[in-house]
Amino acid sequence: MWHPEHPVRHSILPARWPAADEAAQSLLFAPIKIGGVPLESRTWVPAMVPWRATEDGFVTDNIIEWYGRFASGRPGAIVVEATGVRDIASGPLLRIGHDRFIPGLRNLVETVRRESQGHTRLFIQIIDFLAVKRRPEKEKFFARFLEVQARHRAALARATGDARWIEADDSRVRDFLITSSDDLLDRVLDERELESLRFGYRERVTDMDLPHVSELPRVLPGIFASAAERAREAGFDGVELHYAHAYTMASFLSAKNDRPDGYGGSRDNRVRLPIEVYREVRRRVGTDYTVGVRFLGDEAIEKGSHLEDAVYFGVEFARAGFDYLSVSKGGKFDDAKQPKVGHAVYPYTGRSGYECMPTVISDELGPFGRNVPLAAAIKRAVNDAGFATPVVTSGGISTFEQAEDILRNGEADIIGAARQSLADPDWFLKLRLGKGDEIRRCVFTNYCEGLDQMHKKVTCKLWDRVGLDEPGISMSADGRRRLVPPRWDRSLISD
């Protein structure tokens, strides 16, 4: 992962834990309504991809165990990982693009209800993404993927001073390029070809020459709406439309989107499809079903969208009728590091990825609550426009005082904590019961993110090597890590 040029190593924040009576009077444990869904508290576990689905996108026993463990900590809400809206192969990621996925998802919902004893609400994040291919071997790229054109021959002739390249056949051009230096390739290939060679081929929403990309505005509203209908049938309390990070809908919102068809360019045009998707989802699931959105407060890339764009989008989303706004930052392909051959580019390795999941090796600002000002600015604008749409903030939040101050200062309405919840799924419950000194605190080194980058089942270093002799626990394929944290003593819990 990227780190600042002059890094500062931070310690985790000091913490003062509340007694049970103080917690009971806090805003953090005050109820709030999300659309028609009441939350018992303003505690929220954002979507995290744990790499536990089957290769076909089905719910597994490991998925059931994972979400059941989070539910036993009784947060106000859990958002299930990014789940694909299309019925296409996407590796071990959950899918909701066909009715055959509903039974497994229904089992997941029932598990969360049971393990939380009805205290936790469950939403599912639904996502679309375009093709991203693995970085190819150089020989394979030139032999199979490069379409040799006249411009390549002309560029070769200029670069080498040899006019015979103008008439050279394709195979000779390919063979020569396989052995050519990076400097020569820089002069012969265009920007997208170089990217495909060095990072792997990646589609963009601006690839209007591709029919399936050109027609996205026509097909995506229905695809998302069908997925949302399945979510409702499976029993989820609502859906979260994934408009963040490196994926399709976020790319429509991006300032880099210059589509000429009325869906790119100005902010009005860029927000057009996201609003159309929402309206079709709302039409199909009804006004009594919760529909939220996860979007970026800042893309954190050159020529990308920034806070002023996000403020505009947030107001438009509230005006359209979204039931909540969940704000993130960064996580883009545009500045990602070069992957190894045979691996796909990972959107959390560049500066924008760091801003999404900052670590204790940071700049002077540090990683704790780093993204809260983005949510605060969006919330202020939404409220000033006359809307009361709840705003979820997240990013390096791991203490009671930190969370409570955010709420009391009016910077957000709900506190999301992904990595701290992964470190200790019971931490919100421990806070509420006055047992804060028993919380297993995240140290924000991103051990978990490293596993995610390698598409390994995500765990936390604070517990994945603990109690490995415990009977019946699920283990990683190599037998070295447990896949869920040890249970907290539930005898302390009163209903």
In a domain, 295, yes or no: yes
63 and 119 assigned to the same domain: yes
Tens digit of pLDDT for each residue in 358-397?
Answer: 999 999 899 999 999 999 999 999 999 999 999 999 999 9
Query: Residue 425: CB partners within 8 Å, gap ≥ 6?
Result: 45, 69, 70, 72, 73, 485
206: in domain: no
- 145 and 254 in a single domain? The answer is no
Contact call for residues 259 and 206 (beta carbons, < 8 A) = yes
Q: What is the CA radius of gyration of the chain?
A: 24
pTM of the full structure? 0.96
What residue type is assigned to position 299 of the chain? E
> Residue 339 in contact with residue 346, Cβ under 8 Å?
yes
Q: How confident is the model at residue 494 (pLDDT cuts 50, 70, 90)?
A: low
Q: Return d(Cα 395, Cα 21) in angstroms, integer.
A: 27
The model's confidence at residue 90, banded by pLDDT at 50, 70 and 90, is: confident
Q: Which domain holds residue 105?
A: 8-132+215-492
Q: Is the model's pLDDT at 495 over the cut of 60?
A: no
Say whether both 191 and 250 belong to one domain.
Answer: no
246/194 same-domain check: no
Q: Where are the alpha helices (DSSP H) in 161-254?
A: 170-178, 182-188, 191-198, 211-214, 216-234, 248-253
CB under 8 Å to 143, separation ≥6 — which residues?
174, 178
Residue 118 lies in a domain: yes
Looking at the structure, do residues 127 and 147 belong to the same domain, yes or no? no
Backbone φ/ψ region at 472: left (φ over 0), alpha (ψ -120 to 50), beta: left
> Is 179 among the domain residues?
yes
Give whole-number Cα distances, 317 to 237, 255, 291, 312, in Å: 20, 17, 11, 9
390 falls within a domain: yes
Q: What confidence category does residue 334 fall into, taking pLDDT thresholds of 50, 70 and 90?
A: very high
- Do residues 444 and 343 share a domain? yes
Q: For residue 361, what is the enclosing H or E element?
A: strand 361-362
Report the distance separating Cα 316 and Cα 268, nearest Å: 9
Q: Are residues 180 and 75 in the same domain?
A: no
| Same domain, yes or no: 185 and 278 | no
The number of domains in the chain is: 2
Q: Do 147 and 64 share a domain, yes or no?
A: no
Question: What letters, b where the CB count within 10 A reaches 16 and e where it falls short, cover 376-392?
Answer: bbbbebbeeeebebbbb
**Looking at residue 455, which CATH number applies to its domain?**
3.20.20.70
Amino acid letter at 256? K
**At residue 147, does pLDDT exceed 80?**
yes
Residue 222 shares a structural domain with residue 175? no
Domain-located, residue 207 = no
Q: How many C-beta atoms surround the C-beta of residue 192 within 10 A?
A: 12
Task: Say what the alpha-carbon torsion angle 315, 316, 319, 325 is, to the nearest 10 degrees.
Answer: -60
